[in-house]
Amino acid sequence: MLHPANETFLTILHHHLPNALFGAVPPAYLQEPRGKWQGLGGILARPETVEQVSTLVRLCHEHRVGVIPYGGGTGLVSGQIIENGAAPVILSLERMNEIRAVYPDENVIVVEAGAILADIQAAADAVDRLFPLSLASEGSARIGGNLATNAGGALWEYARSVPWA
């Protein structure tokens, strides 16, 4: 059985991680785009480094508190919220949004889990490369969410570049 992410657990988190990473969960994090489901949230965590994510997940595991990773919140099947049960930690990757490196010769780009899809496309485009994933939510959706949902979409850039006729 999971325990709720409550004030007691917040105190534990504060012993290990900067207080500024945590807060109450604003309503926007508990809704999905079509308003079909209403989520539960105990603590919003917005880490800035991989080490902070690691510490947070370890503490949640040790104290049996649930964690929901959160990217851009554009998912349409409610994976980013939970309706029932113990209120979880919402682990938002929004602060981990850097494009770390671009290696055009290898066709490789290194980004953080919270990088916005449109920013990744732009970084690839800047070195004359195509990042081949495009969807209507690309200005908000983040690569961690794209990978977690196995997102696919319309390859408009690709379609425009190919002489189909």
Among 60, 71, 111, 124, binds ligand FAD (CB under 6 A): 71
User: Which of 4, 86, 149, 155 lies at the binding interface for ligand FAD (CB under 6 A)?
Assistant: 149
Q: Which of residues 5-64 bind ligand FAD (CB under 6 A)?
A: 33
The sheet carrying 89-92 orders its strands as: 22-23, 43-45, 89-92, 67-70
**Contacts for 129 with CB less than 8 Å, ≥ 6 apart:** 104, 107, 109
- By C-beta, is 15 or 34 nearer to ligand FAD? 34
Q: Which amino acid belongs to residue 11? A: T
User: Is residue 135 involved in binding ligand FAD (CB under 6 A)?
Assistant: yes
Taking CB under 6 A as the criterion, which residues in 87-106 touch ligand FAD?
Answer: 93
Q: In sequence order, which residues have a C-beta less than 8 Å from that of residue 148 and are 6 or more positions away?
A: 69, 71, 79
Residues that bind ligand FAD (CB under 6 A): 33, 68-76, 79-80, 93, 113, 135-137, 141-142, 144-146, 148-149, 151-153
